[in-house]
Amino acid sequence: MILHADGNSFYASCEQIYRPDLRGKPVAVLSNNDGIIIALNKEAKACGIKRGDPYFKVRDICQWRGITVFSSNYTLYADISRRITSIYLEYAPDIEEYSIDESFLFFDKCNWSIKDYYEIGHDLKRRIAKEVGIPICVGAAPTKTLAKIASKLCKQYPRLQGGCYMHRPEDMEKVLRKYPIEDVWGIGRRT
């Protein structure tokens, strides 16, 4: 089984660690030269701005809607990522850091029940929120692509409480039939 752990609105969440007054409020992060919006949380997305928007075009919307805008701080983001990875390493015998906010945790040689994976996923989510201050979603499945889909479903459906576990073939079939092909990691936009 493979777990995919993904930081929610990672750059914005990192900024909110040191500004807890901004939790639940719209936050956006700009590129190196403050020209482009490169990250935003769900509250900022709800205000109508998108990743990739030139800041000069949405500056007035940001001010009007009360969106707090930060210049990017890659040193901070890398430090937070290292802290999270150190927690992952306490759980998984092998991990792959896919990006600054995403990792695959491999449990190939573990003969555990789905309940064990469920507990690990929820424990990871709880510990990282408590010890680091970042919300994450965890998806578990037999392949990296399915695990990534599972964690993405957690973001779309908050009732999953941060964990989605696809282990039965009928669940995988059901999800894949409804999942937009263009959103399937490693396949979608390439074909």
Question: What is the SS3 assignment for 18?
Answer: coil
**What span, in angstroms and rounded, lies between the C-alpha atoms of 25 and 23?**
5
- What pairing do the DSSP bridges indicate for beta strands 37-40 and 27-30? antiparallel
Q: What pLDDT was estimated at residue 5?
A: 94
Contact 98, 142 (CB under 8 A): no
**pLDDT tens string 21-48:** 999 999 999 998 899 999 999 999 999 9
> What residue has token string 């989605």?
164
Single out the catalytic residue among 43, 90, 96, 102. Answer: 102
Question: What is the SS3 assignment for 99?
Answer: strand
**Is 173 assigned a catalytic role?**
no
Between 7 and 177, the higher pLDDT residue:
7
Ramachandran assignment for 182, one of left (phi > 0), alpha (psi -120 to 50 degrees), beta (any other): alpha
**What span, in angstroms and rounded, lies between the C-alpha atoms of 37 and 72?**
10
**What span, in angstroms and rounded, lies between the C-alpha atoms of 2 and 119?**
14
**What span, in angstroms and rounded, lies between the C-alpha atoms of 136 and 20?**
17
For the whole model, what pTM was predicted?
0.85
Whether the per-residue pLDDT at 98 is higher than 70: the answer is: yes
Residue 125 main-chain phi, psi, to 5 deg: -60, -45
**pLDDT tens string 55-68:** 999 999 999 999 99
Q: What is the chain's alpha carbon radius of gyration, rounded to the nearest angstrom?
A: 17
Confidence of residue 189 (pLDDT cuts 50, 70, 90): low
**What span, in angstroms and rounded, lies between the C-alpha atoms of 190 and 155?**
23
Give Cα 100 to chain centroid, integer Å: 10
Q: What pLDDT was estimated at residue 1?
A: 85
**pLDDT tens string 158-168:** 655 556 777 77
Whether the per-residue pLDDT at 112 is higher than 70: the answer is: no
**What span, in angstroms and rounded, lies between the C-alpha atoms of 148 and 155?**
11
**pLDDT tens string 70-88:** 999 999 999 999 999 999 9
Whether the per-residue pLDDT at 184 is higher than 70: the answer is: no
